[in-house]
Structure 1
Amino acid sequence: MRLRNRLRAVVIGGLALLSGATALPATATAATGRTDRPSSSGLSAVIRYTEYGIPHITAKDYAGLGFGNGWAQAADQACVLADGFVTLRGERSRWFGPDGAPDGSLSSAGTNLSSDLFFRSVNEARTVERLLAQPAPAGPSRQAKELIHGWAAGYNAWLRTHRINDPACRGAAWVRPVTAIDVARLGYSVVTLGGQGRLVDQITGARPPGASAVRPAASADPGAAARAFFARDGADLGSNAVAFSGTVTANRRGLLLGNPHYPWHGGRRFWQSQLTIPGELNVAGGSLLGSPTVEVGYNDRVAWSHTVSTGVPVNLYELKAAPGDPRSYLVDGRPERMTERRVTLPVRGKDGHLTKVTRSLWWSRYGPVVSGLDRGLPLPWTKNSVYVVNDPNAAQLRFLDSELGLAKARDTEGILRALHRAQGTPWVNTIAADAEGHSLYTQSQVLPRITDELAGRCSTALGRTTYPAAGLAVLDGSRSDCLPGRDADALQPGIFGPSAMPTLRDAPYAENSNDSPWLANADRPLTGYPRIFGDTATPRSLRTRGALEDVSAMAGRGGLTVADLQRQQFTDRAPAGALAAEDTARACAKLPGGRATGSDGKAVDVAAACAVIARWDRTVNTGSKGALLFGRFWRHLGDPKWRVPFSASSPLTTPRSLDTGTSRFSRALADAVSELRGAGIALDAPLGEHQFVVRHGKRIPVPGGAHALGIWNVISANWTPAQGGYSEVETGSSYIQAVGFNGGSCPTARTLLTYSQSSNPRSAHYSDQTELFSRGRMVTARFCEKDILASPQLKVERVTER
């Protein structure tokens, strides 16, 4: 009894850590070296670490849970987080000079100066403070605010009590305490990533025209330019997810496989944890760094994942300049003056001295002025007209409440209710499965309320091209009747309400790989939504085609388990290879003399490549021979030409039959062979010898391949043949979860954080899960109390504000 009473002192404030268990092992208690009970004042939490450094954080309230979360994230990622807060404060130019580039985690800014101008303008306008002050449900709830407050306190407490040993920021003056507003600003940057955050250089680069300004010629194909700019092709953000209903599973309960493709470096990394307030909240999964909630996760009854959607989260307005004043514009014939935001920044010169730089950013009633949009879509500011961007996500801070609602949901209908109640999901779809056997796909996101009718009535000449082609509406801003209006069930003016969201319930499978909602299930197409949500009856990406082939076959076999989900994750089948490798090898063998002409005009002996591609197993496993060669060939080929065109009636089997009779085909083959030989790489080299990451001087082979090849397990890496091939992964499979249910309170889950919990090379968890990823293995999740306590690596920390 004496031992039992001593163990119960571990409980925070007398609160049981989890239902059904009130004690921690004596060995774990002794290992912490801390007192058994924290201070009775201030915030506190208990953090229990299991294998691979995964923390299970328990607190008595939301502020305490945020505190433990901020503490634990700082322990793993202090430098990455601190760098992000420098960005959010608009201080990159001060510390790192104006010309360097941010890591892209919080915006698309091309330089530190552009980033600073944007974020400082947001801060000086007190945008986030105003959004926080909005009462719920239009603004964040009390619980969300307490999480934010607690997270900031936990992060600061860790900095105050620990000396950073990560060489990335050890001793750096820019590592500073944060405020709750800083944490809220991080959340704001996440929700605006698809809108204003994607247009930072265009917002900060907008300049009023001189009297002689001339409008440049329009792009030859503005529709294609708009598609390129808002592409969701897995280049930096993408995902797969599939939910299976109980009709095709072994135990008649739902299954979910989530596979987000996010950057492996910087502030858009995921971080894994379990968050618990006994009797109130118990959720596990992956969080974006700096977030006090779980974004992709599960509880004991339901699991969910997100995929980047095709919905275009902004629209543009073309404004008519007031006569003689390009800084004013007309609405219904009446002039309105633009708001000038003057921003002054300290900027570090090459000599180390600080000077001040002042720039102006310009705002209209609709949003900021944009100018010089790249990728072939010019939006000039002339003496006659100007373009501005409307981003409804820049007027909301409800994302945390959306995620909190998902964490508390008890089934897929609860997932829908949470999304509909908060209306704060910015640029993603949601896919879910539950213990009762239900499945769900929904594109419930914040989108400008651009109906097809409104676009037809109010589109400018540019918009009449970009809206049908890419869903980017360009409306006439000189007419107030071209405002989006408000749905009766929308929390926010100018956005679609929940009833407009494309949703698929209880299909045998519901899948998305960053294409539109149309074929979430190939047998139950979704149609009837406005073009801004996405398209229909158009070619799907090879990744979508491959995914639908795989999951429909899995559903057809039935009897599915979590093990089947794990196998799907690491099958590494290359749909491009299945479609084109045989044609490629056959055409290669028929080339006269086994030679092809490369881009440099030189003839290349490609005969050996024919046999390598013919023998390739059509996968991108680390041991696959021929995957490297075919992958480089496919990249050089670019957009392939097919003999059988796309048919909307056969979207999973068309287009097909590679056209190998073009000069582009033989040139791509020659270029790939020359490239590998020039780098001293054998044509049949195993993929893992040349696609790897280096951790502690050791090469770790990385499976997977490019989005363009149709790979489920996307890996995008830098091609640096002088260093051995794909020497570093940029983005791809990140936090992976395969989740099922067994009717009890302990879900069956396998998880993997591909790049591991910490980016600090001195951490024990810098590469351990990366090693698992290399071997196609996952972590058996410890969700229930008995499993946490049974961990052979259990470590307990009691953390307090004091």
Structure 2
Amino acid sequence: MSRTGLRVAGTAVVAAAALTPVPSSADATGERGMTATIRYTEYGIPHITAPDYAGLGYGTGYAAAKDNICLLAQGVVTLSGERSKYFGPDASPDRSLSSASTNLASDLFFTGINDSGIVERLGTSPAPLGLSVQMRELSRGWAVGYNRYLREGKITDPACRGAAWLRPITELDVARRGYALAMLGGSGMVTDQITEAAPPGGTQPKARSLEKAAEGARKLLANTDMGSNAIAVGADATATGRGLLLGNPHYPWHSGRRFWQMQQTIPGKLDVSGAALFGSPSVNIGHTSTIAWSHTVATGVPFTLTELRLVPGDPTSYFVDGKTERMTQRRVTVQVKQPDGSLQPVTKTQWRTRYGPIVTSVSSVGLPWTTWNAYALTDPNATNLRLADTSLALGKARTTDDALRALKQTQGLPWVNTIAADSRGKALFAQIQVLPNVTDAFADRCNSLLGHLTFRQAGLAILDGTRSSCAPGKAPGTVQPGILDPDRYPVLNRGDYVTNSNDSYWLSNAEEPLTGYGRIIGDEKTARSLRTRSGVVSVQDQLAKSRFTRADMQDLVFANRSHAGELAAGGTVKMCREMRLGEPCDVLAEWDRTADAGSRGALLFDRYWRKALSAWDLWKTPFDASDPVHTPRDFNPGSWAARKALIDAVDELWKSNIPLDAPLGDHQYVTRNGEKIPLGGGTEGLGVLNKIEASWTPGKAYTEVTTGSSYIQVVSFDGDGCPDTRTVLTYSQSADPTSPHYADQTRLFSKKQWVTERFCSSEVDKAPGLKVVTLTGK
């Protein structure tokens, strides 16, 4: 497929950017022959049916644009490298597609990618390296559907109504978004460091110590704005004897990395319901009539660094196998808006090596480009366009065996695990993702001195660039060079349960820990997060009483158990009494140990615990690998750090004029069109499954959520072909404040209520207030 072959047939109508209807033939817009029916059920959820993949994409793109045209169009501007052109160079993008700190850095990064033609080249490759025919058709139709909505000129969202940067898109734009999502855990994490890399000048930058660099690597890989919980329960642990799944991803609430809910159907070929990340043509997390799956952010390190030994006197040349190689230069030019509104070109040079682009440090890992050495980033997901096809393959699966086979054949998941349950009663955990082909033996042979330390502590390999044999090579069974053999990843099939809350694979089931896997995949026999421990304890507590029902799984999500409170509140009260603090002690003693919106004392414990959690002497009983679910434990009332944290938290609330026993929801809420919506849930360190991360504003507390529970689904199978499913999209379907679906599901989330999903066509047809839209490309 040529570069133009990735575009929608014909030239898109430029006048559509003016938001006025433009008469045009179906040939000119690429719509000829496309047809789709969209049935809207409660809460604006579209059920899209079409006779083929192009039509399915057509209906999906149209419905997606109708709900979120402004955020989708922002992504198009970002991926086109045009943010500086429209919004100026210094503003910050929303970071949904990269870590760029400024529009200029974002533009230089994505323009460099576009100039390379990598997405077009991958598009010419046959599947599985490139896109399948079905996904190409879906993507083509998605672009046409998006353009149709844009051409109709019905935009009501003030965020982009009448904006100069709205434009029709092409299939290439759709592919670029999938490519950017794949790179989020690698190149996309070091956007600034790639675009700012430059040969050393007169003053040599100071390198960090090995220990500090290793610690920086550990913090880098732990510092993301995404997470998730997922629990799959099998026949041995459900009341029905069939599978049951909880999917609870924790993603941003306000960026182009939100989820959007839908059902996609091609009669006899595809019938899948769930949610897709913005701009994705297929369902990313969801279920069919016989299998349900979700993803959690994995611990595998999806990139490596390579240390280059530079040629004396020439910092742009390096040694490989005793010979000299020169770095290559790519001059990247973007248009930048000036204060007077005019445009001026800005050009910067990006430096590359046989191992990948040069980076100057990786977040807090200080790895400067000196006259002696430099570091290159190798990101195998920089040649991965397979994410969309992996999602499509999961949407066609009938069993967990099919899902596992799809993961191994497509090899497209960049940074997530897969947790699934099926109607047979099987529960699956699989960490099959795209990681560098760095086994422990390879790392021992090829890591640099620093690399041995970072690999042991964080799983980050820093390889010796002086030896060509230390570049990750082709492994058996892989669809691209340089990635790990899919048979080397941890997989667990159980009849009771599997779970993951963003720790490694090791404790996917407490009764069968997974061991013996490569360090680049994750760690073993180390302390688990309180959220991981809370998930396992919650499952174990339920199974001690009875087998799971769908309602039990729903209750587990919204129980809002604070595992930190269960472990430490009693000891904290004792400490508080010893300190003779009075009222705070009474408030914490009466706290119900939950993060419910109505819970009194939850806010005080939250502010205290965030400050105390890093104390080295917080627990009397340290972590024990033989009892990982219950250690560390036994709060230490004598911890001076904890005592100071409590005093500081009390002082903080008093200074903000917030009562110590104020209900959590009075000070943890979102405001939508002037309506205050209280929220339960809690931060990572509290060990609350219903994760909510919000920015603290002195005097007001938590007034807006940044990340947290997003698309929540509980799927059970009763054997009649219509899964018994409950869902809630926490921030609702649309980001448009004029939409009736801007906050309707947010209110449900606040009240711990659910949407009863309509999957079978007969259920959809019975929806009250059903709205039907028929699209044809005549």
Normalising to structure 1: TM-score of the pair? 0.92
Corresponding residue of 1:746? 722
Structure 1 stretch displaced more, 612-621 or 339-348: 339-348
Relative to 1, partners in 2 of residues 1:697 and 1:212: Cα closer, same or farther, differing over 3 Å?
closer
Deviations 1:746-778 (A, max 9, x none): 011001100000010000100000000000011
Taking the aligned partners of 1:638 and 1:656, their CA distance within structure 2 comes to: 13
Q: Find 1:678's aligned residue among 655, 671, 676.
A: 655
Deviations 1:550-584 (A, max 9, x none): 11222343432111111011000000001111111
Q: Find 1:298's aligned residue among 287, 308, 319.
A: 287
Corresponding residue of 2:704? 728
Taking the aligned partners of 1:468 and 1:187, their CA distance within structure 2 comes to: 32
Contact 1:587 1:660 in 2 (8 A): yes
Q: Find 2:150's aligned residue among 152, 159, 165.
A: 159
* 1:619 and 2:594 aligned: yes
SS in 1 for 2:184: coil
* 1:365 and 2:345 aligned: no
Corresponding residue of 2:732? 756
Map 1:565-584; keep pairs closer than 5 Å. 565-584=553-572
The sequence identity of aligned pairs, in percent, is 54
Taking the aligned partners of 2:208 and 2:294, their CA distance within structure 1 comes to: 43
Query: Aligned letter for 1:287?
Result: A
Map 1:393-404; keep pairs closer than 5 Å. 393-404=381-392
Map 1:162-561; keep pairs closer than 5 Å. 162-210=153-201, 213-218=204-209, 220-231=211-222, 235-375=224-364, 377-561=365-549
SS in 2 for 1:350: coil
Corresponding residue of 2:670? 693
Corresponding residue of 2:584? 609
Map 1:115-134; keep pairs closer than 5 Å. 115-134=106-125
Contact 2:210 2:453 in 1 (8 A): no
Query: Aligned letter for 2:612?
Result: L
Corresponding residue of 1:16? none
SS in 1 for 2:164: coil
SS in 1 for 2:381: helix
Relative to 1, partners in 2 of residues 1:212 and 1:732: Cα closer, same or farther, differing over 3 Å?
closer
Taking the aligned partners of 1:284 and 1:746, their CA distance within structure 2 comes to: 11
Relative to 1, partners in 2 of residues 1:161 and 1:576: Cα closer, same or farther, differing over 3 Å?
same
Corresponding residue of 1:710? 687
Contact 1:467 1:532 in 2 (8 A): yes
Contact 1:752 1:773 in 2 (8 A): yes
Taking the aligned partners of 1:635 and 1:557, their CA distance within structure 2 comes to: 33
Map 1:772-791; keep pairs closer than 5 Å. 772-791=748-767
Relative to 1, partners in 2 of residues 1:628 and 1:411: Cα closer, same or farther, differing over 3 Å?
same
Q: Find 2:138's aligned residue among 132, 142, 147.
A: 147
Corresponding residue of 1:660? 637
SS in 1 for 2:176: helix
Corresponding residue of 2:71? 80
Structure 1 stretch displaced more, 59-68 or 481-490: 481-490
SS in 2 for 1:193: helix
Contact 2:235 2:495 in 1 (8 A): no
Q: Find 2:47's aligned residue among 48, 51, 56.
A: 56
- Offset, 1:352: 2.3
Taking the aligned partners of 1:630 and 1:610, their CA distance within structure 2 comes to: 11
Corresponding residue of 2:88? 97
Contact 1:441 1:505 in 2 (8 A): yes
Corresponding residue of 2:19? none
- Offset, 1:162: 2.6
Taking the aligned partners of 1:531 and 1:217, their CA distance within structure 2 comes to: 24
Taking the aligned partners of 1:511 and 1:185, their CA distance within structure 2 comes to: 32
Taking the aligned partners of 2:331 and 2:744, their CA distance within structure 1 comes to: 48
Relative to 1, partners in 2 of residues 1:330 and 1:240: Cα closer, same or farther, differing over 3 Å?
same
Corresponding residue of 2:6? none
Taking the aligned partners of 2:206 and 2:673, their CA distance within structure 1 comes to: 54
Taking the aligned partners of 1:713 and 1:132, their CA distance within structure 2 comes to: 39
Corresponding residue of 1:588? 576
Taking the aligned partners of 1:517 and 1:563, their CA distance within structure 2 comes to: 27
Deviations 1:707-735 (A, max 9, x none): 1111100000111133x220000000000
Contact 1:141 1:401 in 2 (8 A): yes
- Offset, 1:353: 2.5
Contact 1:507 1:521 in 2 (8 A): no
- Offset, 1:590: 0.7
Taking the aligned partners of 1:408 and 1:481, their CA distance within structure 2 comes to: 40
Taking the aligned partners of 2:709 and 2:386, their CA distance within structure 1 comes to: 27
- Offset, 1:344: 1.1
Structure 1 stretch displaced more, 365-374 or 57-66: 365-374
Structure 1 stretch displaced more, 289-298 or 652-661: 652-661
Aligned residues: 747
Taking the aligned partners of 2:158 and 2:119, their CA distance within structure 1 comes to: 32
Taking the aligned partners of 2:227 and 2:728, their CA distance within structure 1 comes to: 17
Taking the aligned partners of 1:231 and 1:298, their CA distance within structure 2 comes to: 29
Taking the aligned partners of 1:43 and 1:540, their CA distance within structure 2 comes to: 50
- Offset, 1:691: 0.5
Contact 1:622 1:701 in 2 (8 A): yes
Taking the aligned partners of 1:800 and 1:607, their CA distance within structure 2 comes to: 70
* 1:793 and 2:769 aligned: yes
Normalising to structure 2: TM-score of the pair? 0.95
SS in 2 for 1:343: strand
Contact 1:46 1:59 in 2 (8 A): yes
Query: Aligned letter for 1:482?
Result: C
- Offset, 1:473: 0.4
- Offset, 1:696: 1.5
Taking the aligned partners of 2:674 and 2:732, their CA distance within structure 1 comes to: 16
Taking the aligned partners of 1:507 and 1:434, their CA distance within structure 2 comes to: 11
Structure 1 stretch displaced more, 324-333 or 469-478: 324-333
Structure 1 stretch displaced more, 208-217 or 143-152: 208-217
Q: Aligned-residue CA RMSD in angstroms?
A: 1.3
Relative to 1, partners in 2 of residues 1:156 and 1:586: Cα closer, same or farther, differing over 3 Å?
same
Corresponding residue of 1:669? 646
Contact 2:31 2:777 in 1 (8 A): no
- Offset, 1:230: 0.6
- Give unpaired runs (5+ residues) of structure 1: 1-38, 595-605
- Give unpaired runs (5+ residues) of structure 2: 1-29
